[in-house]
Each structure stands twice: as structure tokens, then as C-alpha cells.
Amino acid sequence: MSETAQIHPVILCGGSGTRLWPLSRQSYPKQFTSLVGAQSLFQASVLRTKGPGFAAPVILTGEPFRFIVIEQLAAAHMQAAGVLIEPEGRNTAPAVLAAAKWLVARDPDALMLVAPSDHVIPDAEAFQAAVRAAAPRAEAGDLVTFGICPDRAETGYGWLEMAEGADATATSPQTLKRFVEKPDAGRARLMLEAGHFLWNAGIFLFSARAAIAAFEAHAPEMLAPVQAAIDGAEDDLGFTRLAAEPWATVPADSIDYAVMEHADNLAVMPFGAGWSDLGDWHAVWAEAGPDAAGNVVSKNATALDCSGSLLRSENEAQELVGIGLEDMIAVAMSDAVVIAPRAQSQRVKEAVAALKERGAKQATSFPVDHRPWGWFESLVVGDRFQVKRIVVKPGAALSLQSHHHRAEHWIVVQGTARVTVDDTVNLIGENKSVFIPLGAVHRLENPGKMDMVLIEVQTGSYLGEDDIIRYEDVYART
């Protein structure tokens, strides 16, 4: 790696995995949760690329997650070089090409480290060392993928076959022969025994120029619409919002299928210092470090005569107790519980599909609804009324809005609220309340330096979140 070269992390943060339901849902996917350790997976992904030789990260995410990204970056004392908003998910290939186009316009010699935001790599120093070791091949124009040294005949991952004479334990990039699709159990055992196969981690290092050249050679149909989405992008509150119309015409494909499997300038960097994609609850159990009985038990859970089991409660007011369980998964939240044999934990996605089919909101919606200004949760829902807890961050403000079908009663229980009702603005302190009549134009703000918490009681004929007319919004929502 040359002394002047900088590696630009490109963090892909648009997924909405279902295999870790109920903790991971479409409205708040697993990368933003603290599954292993105190940090979220997204924060850990960003922090492991912080250090000498690494530039500030470029984040690609979706519209619903843009403010969560900024909030979690700030909590990790990190700042992004850019946050690109994808108008819709089109898989990883268009996202990588957009990042390459964005980077090459700012640094023609940029090296891109493309990484998912939801993987676990415990040894950040070893990962950085591997990236630096791979950098000379990337600078020379090769497309480098990272391969994980396998410890089992895994059928849930794609594999990488190294060229003859390559060393799976090497500390420098090796020649890659081909990508291998997810195998059946027999094929996976043969590859593990052969010793020259690695797991495909979905992590890549190449120059922005080499990436664009690879798309020109192997996926030219993506170039024009991605360039048009970049050219038509708009700056919005510090985000770069890609143009929606051309983006919708980009073929949806993965970087593996679109480019990597067709390229002849491939290299693989073996990595054996620990990695997991946390693809299901079995993987979370393994990564969390089971105790002597093989159990992983959270703060609000109790295991009696259990072995090989994961017991996890996400609600402080809810105790989860397992008795005599063997190799089981039990995960409880305030609105949903999943229980399954650990060996069948990948079938959770089937459960989510079944819930979607029934129209159950738990399939996609998190019980806590995160917004740019803070969050809220429903405490009680009844006929013509709903009770919510609303938390507004310091300096934040809800939109100026009105409702067709409901009135609202607000009771401040912590901090001070600045409340606008039509032409009247008042400061409402703790233990004070205010009434918002049906149809009144109103706004809630937190002028203080601590979280403001209030209880909202809604009454009316319809209480859905879509009963809202926005007149003004500091977060540019429509």
C-alpha cells in the first residue's frame, strides 16, 4: 500500500433482514441493534475502519434509515464523508457502482473497501491488517474479495475456490479461481476437506476506477442509469439523495452476479481472525459465547436445567423463563415472541412471511417507532383511543401538522415542551398538560438540553399514523 493512498470504507446499510425477527424488522433492521456487545452492528462496522490510512466512510442507506445512521454515527463519535440515499433497494451492484462514481469524482485514485453493515468481526486490528495487506493488489487494478477460513461445512454461505497452489492461511492476497454458489451439505463437506475453499464474506477492496471498468466490461447496462441518478442527485439536509426516476430503471443485481463472477482480475484475501454474518439466531448464540451449559441468557431471562439454548428478553418489564430446554431459541419482545429449535432458527423468515400473509403489523413494524426527532411507542390501544409514550431529543421538533380524525391530550412527564396550537405558543413543564383539538394546527418541540418525555392520549374515530397533514418540517419529510 502506497504511503499516499487512502482507503475509503463504503458501508452498505440498506438491508432489512428477517432471519433475526422479532428483533430485526423492516422498520428497524438488525444493523442498528446491539446483538453482540454494547455497540450496534452498524457502529461496529464503521469503527473497525477507523485508523491510519482510512478515510471517513461513505454510507449507502435507504430513506427510512437516514436519520438513524446519522444518530448512530454521532453516538460513535464518527462522521461520514457522505451519506447516499437510495430511493429504493436495487441490491448491492448498483449501490457499489454509485459509490464508485461518487468517489472517483472526488479522488480519482480512491480505493474502496466495500463492506456490509451487519457483520461481526471481533478483531478490528487483524481486519485492518488484512485490508492493508490486500491494498497493493487493489492499487494494481485487481478486484480483491475477502474469504473467511471455514471451520465447518456451512451451507448458508457462498464459497470461494482458490487457484491451484494458493494458500488458504496466507497473509497476502491469493489468486481466486471462481465463486461457488451455496452448496448442499455433501458438497460443503468436500470443500471443507479440500482445504483450498473459503467462505465468501461479501467484503471487497478495489479502486473506484477498477470497479467502474469492471461494470463497463460486465454490466454496462447499469452505467447510464446510475450515472443519471448521480447527476440528478440532490443535497438534502447533509444527505445526497440519488435521483429516483433513473434509479428505478437500474437492474437489481448483486455485485457478485453482476461483476465479480465474470471478472478475470480477481484476488482473494484469506481472513481467519473471526467473522460472522449473524445470519440467524443460531449464529447469535454462537457469537455471544455460551456458558458452561451452552446457554446464552439475557438480563431479563432465567434458564432452569437448560442446555445449548438462547433465552433473550428485550423488555425490562417482561421476564422470560426457560425450564428444561435443550438446544432451543426463545426471543421475547413486548409484541412478539419466537420459540424454535436452534437447528431450525433459519426458518424464522418463514414465520415472518406467514405473518405478512395475515397482515400482522409485527411482521414489519418495530414496537418502538424511531423518528428523526426521537421515538414513540404505543402503550395501550383501544376502541377510539390510544396512549403513547413520546420521547423528543434536545433541540428537536415534530412537524407542524394537523389531523382529520383525532384530538390529542399531551402530559409532560420529563423536561419542558414548547407547544404550538394554531396561533398560540406555550412552554409546558413537567406535570402540566395541553389539549390539541381535532383539526388544530400544532407542533411539539424540545427547547431543553435533555430528552423531553410526554404521554399522549389520542381520541377519535381513526388513529392511524397516516392521518397527518404536514405544513412544515425541519426534516424535509412529505
Q: What is the pLDDT of residue 41?
A: 95
Distance of CA 174 to the CA centre of its chain: 30
> How far is 363 from 347, CA to CA, in rounded Å?
14
CATH number of the domain where residue 436 is located: 2.60.120.10
Any domain includes 36? yes
Q: What is the pLDDT of residue 478?
A: 65
What cell does 454 get? 410526554
Any domain includes 283? no
List beta partners, residue 388: 378, 456
Q: What is the pLDDT of residue 123?
A: 95
Do residues 94 and 256 touch, judged by C-beta distance below 8 A? Answer: no
Of 358, 378, 413, at which residue does a domain stop? 358
Give the pLDDT confidence of 283-332 residue by residue, as tens digits: 999 999 999 999 999 999 999 999 999 999 998 889 999 999 999 999 99
Domain extent for 191: 7-271
H helical segments located in 106-243:
124-139, 185-194, 208-218, 223-231
**E-only strand ranges, 126-251:** 143-148, 159-162, 174-180, 197-207, 234-236, 239-241
pLDDT-based confidence at residue 237 (cuts at 50, 70, 90): confident
Q: Are residues 126 and 178 in the same domain?
A: yes
Q: Is the dihedral of CA 201, 202, 203, 207 positive or negative?
A: positive
Any domain includes 31? yes
> How far is 50 from 420, CA to CA, in rounded Å?
43
Any domain includes 2? no
> Which of helix, strand or coil describes residue 223?
helix
Q: Are residues 435 and 307 in the same domain?
A: no
Any domain includes 1? no
Q: What is the pLDDT of residue 236?
A: 83
Any domain includes 477? no
Any domain includes 220? yes
Does residue 2 register a pLDDT over 70? no
Q: What is the pLDDT of residue 336?
A: 95
Of 300, 334, 358, at which residue does a domain stop? 358
Give the pLDDT confidence of 69-102 residue by residue, as tens digits: 999 999 999 999 999 999 999 999 999 999 999 9
- Average pLDDT, rounded, for the chain: 94
Q: Are residues 252 and 300 in the same domain?
A: no
Q: What is the pLDDT of residue 192?
A: 93
Of 336, 358, 380, at which residue does a domain stop? 358
Give the pLDDT confidence of 416-473 residue by residue, as tens digits: 999 999 999 999 999 999 999 999 999 999 999 999 999 999 999 999 888 999 999 8
Q: Are residues 379 and 457 in the same domain?
A: yes
> Which of helix, strand or coil describes residue 354?
helix
Average pLDDT over residues 1-12: 81
Does residue 4 register a pLDDT over 60? no
Q: Are residues 253 and 300 in the same domain?
A: no
Do residues 135 and 1 touch, judged by C-beta distance below 8 A? Answer: yes
Q: Are residues 249 and 309 in the same domain?
A: no
Does residue 15 register a pLDDT over 90? no
CATH number of the domain where residue 103 is located: 3.90.550.10
Any domain includes 388? yes
Q: Are residues 299 and 167 in the same domain?
A: no
Q: What is the pLDDT of residue 3?
A: 60
Q: What is the pLDDT of residue 385?
A: 95
Q: Are residues 325 and 385 in the same domain?
A: no
Q: Are residues 140 and 228 in the same domain?
A: yes
Q: Are residues 347 and 444 in the same domain?
A: no
Average pLDDT over residues 386-413: 96
**Could you give the number of structural domains in the chain?**
3
Q: Are residues 302 and 438 in the same domain?
A: no
Question: Is the omega angle on the peptide bond into residue 22 within 30 degrees of 0, that is, cis?
Answer: yes
> How far is 228 from 74, CA to CA, in rounded Å?
31
Q: Are residues 406 and 300 in the same domain?
A: no
